[in-house]
Structure 1
């Protein structure tokens, strides 16, 4: 039985082996040598074997070839090769590209797959393919990038570095966030690689300086369509050295280049340092020393007043404990009629201060996101405003309000010095008198008295109408208006100022505006908030600036010298409040005040987080 089974198996195996050629011809891989028997006049066997597809059989691509005998008789219709059967990722990218819309198929670029070899990342091959159709971009071959690629530099940008190999997007595709993104994003792929730039002797801080500019900040916040991108100045394909007379950034062509956006640009305007680095002392000394001066002013101001704040905070805490103990012992006698209210600020002062609060917070809320454009919170805020254009509009409205209250303060000062009849003395006596916000010798005594009090060396000074820190706040507005306001106007109307000022003044203005604004916001949200609201004597908020009223007890405790002067002059009753502010008024403005404090503190934490997490 076993012997018979063995014979049957041998016969079956012999039949199968004898049928192998027919089996191969009907559905199995066909030996390329068989195909070359007919097609050898068109296809080189050596070239095909050496090609990237050389390890594949013919019917790996020509899948309709299932029966060789029928193919020889012409009974099988051959269809176009479908590359996507193997190249799925490339096919998906191709079908999402602009090429498929223009009916550009695989074989239009990969013209002969029988001889196609692996490109080994040789960018010259890509360029040679692209210019077969895009011959109007011949300017690329004359550019810095084109010449470097032709010389074999694999770092230089070829067509696919910007446009991709298969996923080639149309330049007017709204899903691609307009061609404005493209104009800059593709440049950053290489120019943000510092090592690549160094080994090719290319300017290494192009990306950093662009991102520090108004243009770059808008791009980073997600609104590149509002500003110039890299290709707007340097072009997309004809990128040349600035020294090349054909370059769009050559001095001879800068006016025309800038006029693409700034219609009234002049030769003075073009002296702007597009990639000026304020930390480069050798190349940009003016920017460097401006930056150093502003940083010095910022940190010296903070150092003095933060130390002042910390010392006051501790001393005030101790004093409150001492007062609480004395009150518990009955050692402190209450001020007679201590809860009577007296007028400290008039309605116009209150209105002006509300305008200050609204405009200052508006400027901070719209300006700080631009300053810290690399933060996600900044992007969220800009999205909340509806984009950088809306933020700029809000910023400028608040700037107009700021100029308005500044001019009002000047008018009030002139009125105080020269017109008011209820103030004694000539204009100089008024300027240096107790009702003036101008510093005088008494302030020196008050400062030394406070320092002695901080260190438990003497009593707390008894102030007049204005303390030295209140005078500093007032006078700081004048410096701030010239620094922030002046630089802000230059940046708001660059074409006007660029008509008679050299363009590098905009670089200076940017540094001054940015750092002075940082000083102002940091000072207000720390020092001013403490001096006014958070000091132990007033925490959590001093409401006097909103209703203009102060109790007799507070008046005597805080400004004893002013109270005594008013008593001598017999005018205390003239400033006594007969009717206190209403409940709704107090409720509304206390809510407004706390909201303003909250926003200021939130912005302060945003600044602190940015400096700690991502130092600038």
Structure 2
């Protein structure tokens, strides 16, 4: 019977069949698995007869229960066949992974599943990682393959329900890294790292906005090759941080590498700042946020502590320290002047602070700033006489003045206090009776006019406002300073209120000078001889240095000496005229203070105007003068002036003369008998007799008085506390 196939086809198959069969490789399990791994797909292994079929394994393990701890109810830990079949290993046999099982009746304790059969490279990397090394050292809690990828229900990495899918990875890592017990036991660096990451700009971009390109844990730490940061091969090693971050931030990495920080890092500097030093590792936030800006100076200060210290002495630094976390202070942070990732030495033309660029840098905030303005020294050290000679001299002068005034009047006040207490407790009946009588005496005389009392009210209110808004800047490092600024609404509000207080100060000073000029004009006839009508210089001298004038005279020196003798019981208690020597000192202290504080304050308020004709370093000098003179004024008023006016036994608890404008006859005779005798001899005593009603206004005036008085005392306590706490550091 003849074949139906053509003879030549039969011949061809006979000849070439061996060659065709040799060209086609036999199916294996390794090649498909390797190819699948390269394509990030589940390995496909050719089916073969299993030593132990899956069905026999599931007979026991589908309905498996264990008890976590003795006495606790059992929980199901079995294998779900329907889920296993859908898993990445669904076509494998149990014994492909559990290779040491050769019989269904195997021992209860077996070796872990062998992932290396298919995933040699991943397992090799894991073996050298921190997790793998921990396992080798016997740490059973360290993450294994199953800890991250799962077990029998494992799905592909790119599948949305995989534990290591990018959106789910933070929660998977948090299983261990947010566990307080594990982080403490294994001394893991940052506590609750995953939680911090989720609150960061990276975490929010990934989990809240769904931006799958945002970095997750493995992008920064690696996948199977996670190592400790001290390991040179670690992605989070100090030397590798910039490169790790540069995976996403390519342009910024290039800018950083060219900067002074990047150049030092390339030379192997292990201390130079890298990305995590400024942005942190897991709490990364938008650099444009107020909170980031408020903490940026601290980041720079980790390395540049000396620069931060003197930056804090400037308005920029103090306002930054007092700024509310969620309200961006309207002041310059370090990076506003030095740059962000492009920091260069000042000598480098690329630096924002180079001679070519510094004016433009200042103009970012100070529109219209010129070259003189740019001479301001933001890190000036007043103790450095070599580099800041003029500033050092001014600082030493103000410090000497401050210590000298407080030392002199401190001793003066103590002597006065001890003498008054001694007289009150001993046999000085006249002294005690005079104190009681002067508060009960109905015969009253005018000492201050309504206009003078109005000016004093302006002085008190503006002064307290200036102290409340200014002293927190001087003592920015205290909790009470931050509290006051927070209550006011931040540095910007405090600055506006401070400027308002300054305007009121200039206003009462101008009003007082105007009143002096008007008073001299009204008394111009008294400067002429009544008989000849000619001007007499002698009369001008009497008017300027007379008892009704605030200008000091030799009589003040004589009163001072007599007062010191009385302190030590070497002479009688002196009698004064309308003004005492300490009142004249207070009066001219206001002139000195308004000039020193006022001019220096104007320089800082309008720096661009003053640097049209002054060098920028004058702003530094103005700050020292303004700060120390303000401390001198506040300390003097709240201690010595309060004692002279309110604390001494004759006046305690408060002298209301500045509100009532009146003084009793008893007090005049007891303390200002020369004034009383002069008015009596000149026939002008009745001109000063009070004709207005005081009792109806007394309670209101005293209420305001105690409010002002109490505020001053509270501020004094806060200032003393701040100075003591600074000395403690």
Matches within 5 A, 1:286-325: 286-321=390-425, 325=429
For residues 65-90 of structure 1, what are the alpha-carbon distances to aligned partners after superposition, in whole Å with 9 as ceiling and x for unaligned? 579xx99xxxxx98856552555544
Partner of 1:129: 244
Unaligned runs of 5+ in 2: 1-99, 136-143, 179-191, 206-210, 232-236, 529-538
Range 317-326 or range 351-360, more displaced: 317-326
The CA deviation at 1:21 is 8.5
The CA deviation at 1:312 is 1.0
Check 1:308–1:86 CA distance in 2 against 1; reply closer, same or farther (3 A cut): closer
Contact 2:220 2:245 survives alignment (8 Å): no
Q: Does residue 211 of the first structure (1) align with residue 312 of the second (2)?
A: yes
Contact 2:301 2:307 survives alignment (8 Å): no
Partner of 1:200: none
Partner of 1:171: 287
598, 604, 607: which one pairs with 2:716? 604
117, 130, 133: which one pairs with 1:34? 117
Distance, in Å, in 2 between the alignment partners of 1:331 and 1:282 is 59
The CA deviation at 1:563 is 1.3
The CA deviation at 1:33 is 4.2
Matches within 5 A, 1:42-53: 43=121, 47-53=125-131
Distance, in Å, in 1 between the alignment partners of 2:288 and 2:127 is 43
Distance, in Å, in 2 between the alignment partners of 1:111 and 1:533 is 69
Contact 2:462 2:505 survives alignment (8 Å): yes
Check 1:539–1:276 CA distance in 2 against 1; reply closer, same or farther (3 A cut): same
Contact 1:418 1:427 survives alignment (8 Å): no
Distance, in Å, in 2 between the alignment partners of 1:273 and 1:542 is 46
482, 497, 513: which one pairs with 2:626? 513
The CA deviation at 1:143 is 1.1
Partner of 1:250: 354
Contact 2:148 2:164 survives alignment (8 Å): no
Partner of 1:159: 275
Distance, in Å, in 2 between the alignment partners of 1:398 and 1:282 is 37
Distance, in Å, in 1 between the alignment partners of 2:584 and 2:726 is 35
Q: Does residue 405 of the first structure (1) align with residue 521 of the second (2)?
A: no
Q: Does residue 568 of the first structure (1) align with residue 684 of the second (2)?
A: no
Check 1:390–1:24 CA distance in 2 against 1; reply closer, same or farther (3 A cut): farther
Partner of 2:672: 559
Q: Does residue 430 of the first structure (1) align with residue 543 of the second (2)?
A: yes
Partner of 1:184: 297
Partner of 2:455: 352
556, 562, 567: which one pairs with 1:449? 562
Check 1:66–1:560 CA distance in 2 against 1; reply closer, same or farther (3 A cut): closer
Partner of 1:499: 612
Distance, in Å, in 2 between the alignment partners of 1:314 and 1:111 is 72
Q: Structure 1-normalised TM-score?
A: 0.85
Distance, in Å, in 2 between the alignment partners of 1:118 and 1:136 is 27
Distance, in Å, in 2 between the alignment partners of 1:546 and 1:395 is 25
Range 263-272 or range 411-420, more displaced: 411-420
**Partner SS, residue 226 of structure 1:** coil
Distance, in Å, in 2 between the alignment partners of 1:172 and 1:257 is 18
Check 1:574–1:331 CA distance in 2 against 1; reply closer, same or farther (3 A cut): closer
Contact 1:435 1:466 survives alignment (8 Å): yes
For residues 519-547 of structure 1, what are the alpha-carbon distances to aligned partners after superposition, in whole Å with 9 as ceiling and x for unaligned? 10111111111111111221111111111
For residues 447-486 of structure 1, what are the alpha-carbon distances to aligned partners after superposition, in whole Å with 9 as ceiling and x for unaligned? 1111111111111221111111111111111111110010
For residues 219-264 of structure 1, what are the alpha-carbon distances to aligned partners after superposition, in whole Å with 9 as ceiling and x for unaligned? 1112452211011111111111111111011122110111111112
Partner of 2:40: none
Check 1:524–1:410 CA distance in 2 against 1; reply closer, same or farther (3 A cut): same
Q: Does residue 109 of the first structure (1) align with residue 219 of the second (2)?
A: yes
Check 1:565–1:318 CA distance in 2 against 1; reply closer, same or farther (3 A cut): same
Contact 1:320 1:537 survives alignment (8 Å): no
Distance, in Å, in 1 between the alignment partners of 2:337 and 2:226 is 39
Distance, in Å, in 2 between the alignment partners of 1:189 and 1:461 is 61
Contact 2:460 2:708 survives alignment (8 Å): yes
Partner of 1:63: 150
Check 1:46–1:422 CA distance in 2 against 1; reply closer, same or farther (3 A cut): same
**Partner SS, residue 577 of structure 2:** coil
**Partner SS, residue 342 of structure 1:** strand
Distance, in Å, in 2 between the alignment partners of 1:90 and 1:612 is 39
For residues 480-518 of structure 1, what are the alpha-carbon distances to aligned partners after superposition, in whole Å with 9 as ceiling and x for unaligned? 111001001111111211222111001000000000011
**Partner SS, residue 303 of structure 2:** helix
The CA deviation at 1:418 is 3.8
Range 301-310 or range 510-519, more displaced: 301-310
Q: Structure 2-normalised TM-score?
A: 0.73
Partner of 1:261: 365
114, 120, 137: which one pairs with 2:230? 120
Partner of 2:62: none
Unaligned runs of 5+ in 1: 1-16, 72-76, 193-204
Contact 2:129 2:226 survives alignment (8 Å): yes
Q: Does residue 384 of the first structure (1) align with residue 500 of the second (2)?
A: no
Distance, in Å, in 2 between the alignment partners of 1:111 and 1:290 is 54
Check 1:509–1:19 CA distance in 2 against 1; reply closer, same or farther (3 A cut): same
Q: Larger C-alpha radius of gyration, 1 or 2?
A: 2
Partner of 2:644: 531
The CA deviation at 1:22 is 9.3
Contact 1:339 1:553 survives alignment (8 Å): no
The CA deviation at 1:184 is 2.6
Say which structure, 1 or 2, has more relative contact order (CA 8 Å, 6+ apart): 1
Distance, in Å, in 1 between the alignment partners of 2:622 and 2:698 is 41
The CA deviation at 1:34 is 2.5
Q: How large is the Cα RMSD of the aligned pairs?
A: 3.2
**Partner SS, residue 244 of structure 1:** coil
Q: Does residue 548 of the first structure (1) align with residue 649 of the second (2)?
A: no
Check 1:80–1:525 CA distance in 2 against 1; reply closer, same or farther (3 A cut): closer
